[in-house]
Structure 1
Amino acid sequence: MKKFYSVLASIAISFTALAQSHTIDVYPLMDASVYAGQTDNANGQANLVSGSDANGNQTYALMHFDLVEIPDGASITSAELVLQADNPDPSAVTYVIHEMTASWTEGSSNPSDPLMGGSASSGDVTYNNATHPNNSWPNGGNVEVAYKFAPIDVTGDNVSGSKTAITFNSQNFVTLVQTWADDANDNYGVLLKESTSGTTGNIREFYSHENNTGGAKPKLTITYDGDEPIDTTTTSIREDLVESKLSVYPNPAKSNIRITDIPEEVDQLTIMNISGQVVKVVNSTELNSNVVMLDVSDLTKGTYFLKGSENTIAQKFVVL
């Protein structure tokens, strides 16, 4: 009988360990703004911008979070996205978030005026293109065909002179984050949209992951039941991507990618999948110039990371 109870106790302890709760903070790998009033302008590096301009044209902020730290089989119990406004105004503006349904890329544009954006560079997301200059949104449309019409948080949240942060934590948002955790290929991020009806001139700026004065960059806090978070410090995927100098085009890609801006000190490139497993290596003999053409048609559809030697550089790309 003692042996029987001992077995039951062991099972209970094992179950408790498997159901352990963990909380992690995740920051964007990509965030950018697109402008209905300046359809070919871009903003990949400055403050995020969202709202309506003086003519009623919408500006949207896009954010993408990769959940590489969450282990397989995790059950998401809560998810909260917090954005900090850089220039709140006395009048309150209400915002909602929508689920993105198509892939896009953050480029290098860094406009002096985030409210207007600047000329798009190769790889930027714009109102007309998921990746400038040649990769349009689905069916040749604009960004408005690339997000679900129904918002994730129906009631929304507002920012004003006395309220500088907005928060989204609805059950619908928890469900969306669970979808991302279950399959990274379903993760295209979210779109921040003003929902204050019948008004114009309500553009607000929010700190981005590049422009994060006082640590105010967008933060997604996730609590889940499951195994310990996956340690990404050995590959430093997230931190390297923030500081990336490497260029990959086209992105997303179906067959070949063109890699440029390779620093002289890099003598090897490594491609890893979303789990950090190495799937392809480009050796020094192939890095005889600052431009490398690489066939990725043999990779399965999904998200990958291109890393330089000694973990010095990294870039994210998608294979369709």
Structure 2
Amino acid sequence: MCTTRIVLCLAGLLLCAAGTARADTVTLQAAKDNTLYQDDLGLLSNGAGAYFFAGVNGNGEIRRGLIAFDLSGIPVGAVISSASLTARMSRTTGDVEAVSLHRMLENWGEGASNAAANEGRGTVGQPGDATWLFAYLPGTLWAGGTSEPATGGNFETTASATTPVDQIGFYSWTGPGLNADVQRFVSSPGENFGWLVHGFENGVSTAKRFDSRQNNNAANRPTLTVTYSIPAPVCPCDLDRDGKVTSADMFLFLPAFFGEEPIADFDGSGLITSADFFEFLTCFFGLPGGCS
């Protein structure tokens, strides 16, 4: 009778406690960025420049930005709930244009090239730079171009996120596609090649200039903000296998214990004894040796 009362009191306390996954938010600086300048020889780049570009210049030449972030600080098992990439557009000659992020399908480089003045024309790429034809100078061509004119990078044709970019200021890209990309990058780090920044290319003078990770003003550099949670570990006392240890599990255990059902044999002895009851409590309350 006394044992029953203790168990019922414990069960009542559990109505106020619920197992939840811990949520965290991190804001990351870009690990690398660059610009692909349309160029038949594939020699132009701007790896160390203060800006990257997306769109078409006044001469009808395409520019495509590249950007990637180091996500190694986010645990591989994390579940991504939201992601937002923010960049500052610092120069424009046209009207509002849609700028999209496309997941890159292969890795690419950021070398020491640093274009002059406003950087719109690029400069001769340096070893390790990405260009219109090369993922890495001097000898690694893009494995495949995904749009005309070839090659201009190897990227997923479906945009992960799109936002209208108008006048000078900060812009953010969000949405399910971006969340899915970040989840992919975290779960499979070997696929984290970042994004291609794609402007409006059916016209001229549509290019937008964005501040890069090397910009002199640190406050203007691109960032990626990610909110994620770490799922609670699977515990023996998570009897309903919903990923959480809650009062529901206690109310599954109690009748199993008093009914001497096999599910209540927590110490694996083949017998249902008080040892099983205390094994369950140790797990349930996260005591040393149990679930946290």
TM-score by length of 2: 0.69
Contact 1:109 1:118 (C-alpha < 8 Å) held by counterparts: yes
If asked which structure has higher relative contact order (CA below 8 Å, sep 6+), I would say: 2
Distance of aligned partners of 1:12 and 1:72 in 2 relative to their CA distance in 1, 3 Å threshold:
farther
Q: C-alpha distance in 1, partners of 2:73/2:17?
A: 24
Distance of aligned partners of 1:76 and 1:185 in 2 relative to their CA distance in 1, 3 Å threshold:
same
Of 96, 99, 107, which residue of structure 2 is paired with 1:95? 99
Q: Which amino acid is 2:180 matched to?
A: T
Distance of aligned partners of 1:55 and 1:90 in 2 relative to their CA distance in 1, 3 Å threshold:
closer
Of 79, 85, 90, which residue of structure 2 is paired with 1:81? 85
TM-score by length of 1: 0.63
Contact 2:94 2:205 (C-alpha < 8 Å) held by counterparts: no
Gaps of 5+ in 1: 228-320
User: 1:15 — aligned with what?
Assistant: 19
Q: C-alpha distance in 2, partners of 1:27/1:165?
A: 15
Q: Which amino acid is 2:43 matched to?
A: D
Aligned residues: 222
Q: C-alpha distance in 2, partners of 1:126/1:11?
A: 60
User: 1:207 — aligned with what?
Assistant: 211
Q: C-alpha distance in 2, partners of 1:186/1:11?
A: 43
Gaps of 5+ in 2: 232-292
Q: How far does residue 152 in structure 1 lie from its aligned partner after superposition?
A: 1.0
Secondary structure at 1:27's aligned position in 2? Answer: strand
Distance of aligned partners of 1:127 and 1:226 in 2 relative to their CA distance in 1, 3 Å threshold:
same
More displaced stretch, 22-31 vs 3-12: 3-12
Contact 1:89 1:160 (C-alpha < 8 Å) held by counterparts: no
The answer on 1:134 being equivalent to 2:142 is no
Q: C-alpha distance in 2, partners of 1:191/1:130?
A: 12
User: 1:116 — aligned with what?
Assistant: 121
Q: Which amino acid is 2:47 matched to?
A: G
Secondary structure at 1:206's aligned position in 2? Answer: strand
The structure whose Rg is larger is: 2
Q: How far does residue 4 in structure 1 lie from its aligned partner after superposition?
A: 6.5
After superposition, the CA RMSD in angstroms is: 2.6
Q: How far does residue 182 in structure 1 lie from its aligned partner after superposition?
A: 0.5
Q: Which amino acid is 1:40 matched to?
A: L
Q: Which amino acid is 1:15 matched to?
A: G
Q: How far does residue 139 in structure 1 lie from its aligned partner after superposition?
A: 5.1
Summarize the alignment of residues 55-204 of structure 1 with structure 2, pairs less than 5 Å apart: 55-89=59-93, 91-113=95-117, 114-138=119-143, 143-144=151-152, 146-153=154-161, 156-161=162-167, 164-195=169-200, 198-204=202-208
Contact 1:45 1:211 (C-alpha < 8 Å) held by counterparts: no
Distance of aligned partners of 1:201 and 1:170 in 2 relative to their CA distance in 1, 3 Å threshold:
same
Contact 1:95 1:193 (C-alpha < 8 Å) held by counterparts: yes
